[in-house]
Amino acid sequence: MGLYLRPTKLADALAALADPKLTRTPDRIDRLTVLAGGTDFFPAQAARTAWLQPGPRNVLDISGIEELQGIRQDEAGIAFGALVTWSQIRDAALPPACDGLKLAAREVGGAQVQNRGTIAGNLCNASPAADGVPPLLTLDAVVEIASGARGRRSVALGEFITGNRATTLAEDELVIAVRLPRAPASARATFLKLGARAYLVISIASVAVLLEADADGRVGRAAIAVGACSAVPVRLTGLERELAGASRDSLAERVTAAHVASALAPIDDVRGSARYRLDAATVLVRRALAQCAAAGLEAAA
């Protein structure tokens, strides 16, 4: 390894990322690699070493930047600092709309990974099976990004992740926060994941659902996202539109395999076939909708 930088100020981190000596190198491994929790970085380094492959030489460790810590709630919504960990999200006092996100936080690896892995790292890693992405999609999450040269910009999460391990993040940019707009108190949410076992497993399929109900007990808005069944987790916008105005006690039976298949493009791999993924995602969507509907009815009783 070459340089190891650990700034304590965001401005210093952004300056390092803009340093031409570290951004205009012919070999990509000489450029700065951003390190937060390290739960993906270090296993990848070990695998590269085992296969005699070169790894990143220069590291920018942002874990000491206080500005990127903390969960803040106000009338506008919730802001998660980029370095907020999954255990912090799991244990935080968040509104019911975030129940799906808290459930997903419990599924990100084991306790050690949850204590180190960060919300921004999960998004920037951009794995199709990232557990945090589906619930954040249903919450209309916005990614806040900073550059030393161009200032700050905000990108909807659905536009931030562009493909398998690909994002819109430029080489001189850092994700500094993830923001959620305020959700109605009536919103109920959940997250379901299918894997070969309950924990420490990559998803075969995952589903997040958020329901908002009106005074008559009908769906005012539905948000449904599926992970691990496409190059990027996606919202089932067609199904969401069809469920608007529906009675909460009939939601699951309205879901067909065609609704799910129209938005997904799953692959065949060692964890499951494309056909199996589609079937599993359909079942998970039905179960998640039923759970949210039941939770909403209990709250209204």
pLDDT digits (tens, 9 = 90+) for 96-144: 999 999 999 999 988 999 999 999 999 999 999 999 999 999 999 999 9
Confidence of residue 25 (pLDDT cuts 50, 70, 90): low
Q: Which residue would you say has higher pLDDT here, 68 or 49?
A: 68
Q: In residues, how long is the chain?
A: 301
Domain ranges of the chain: 4-61, 188-300
How far is Cα 168 from Cα 159, in angstroms, rounded to an integer?
A: 8
Share of the chain above pLDDT 70, in %: 95
Residue 301 has pLDDT above 60, yes or no: no
- Residue 87 tokens read as 């255990």
> 174, 14 in Cβ contact below 8 A?
yes
End-to-end CA gap in the chain: 60
Q: Each residue of 216-235: pLDDT tens digit?
A: 888 999 999 999 999 999 99
Give the helix/strand (H/E) hosting 112.
helix 111-116
b/e sequence 26-57, b meaning 16+ C-beta within 10 Å:
eeeebbbbbbbbbbbbeeebeeeeeeeeeebb
Q: Of 32-36, 109-113, 177-181, which has the strongest mean pLDDT?
A: 177-181
| pTM for this predicted structure | 0.94
Q: 32 — phi, psi (to 5°)?
A: -65, 130
Which fold, 188-300?
Answer: Enolase-like; domain 1 (3.30.390)
Is the four-CA dihedral 287, 92, 141, 181 of positive or negative sign? positive
b/e sequence 82-97, b meaning 16+ C-beta within 10 Å:
bbbbbbbbbebebbbb
CA 181 to chain centre: 16
Average pLDDT score, the chain: 92
> E strands along the chain, which residues?
4-5, 32-35, 58-61, 71-74, 77-81, 142-147, 151-156, 161-163, 166-167, 173-181, 188-194, 205-213, 219-227, 234-235
Residue 200 has pLDDT above 80, yes or no: no
Strands 32-35 and 58-61: parallel
- Residue 51 tokens read as 């296969």
Q: 260 — phi, psi (to 5°)?
A: -75, -45
Share of the chain above pLDDT 90, in %: 75
Q: Each residue of 265-296: pLDDT tens digit?
A: 988 888 899 999 999 999 999 999 999 999 87
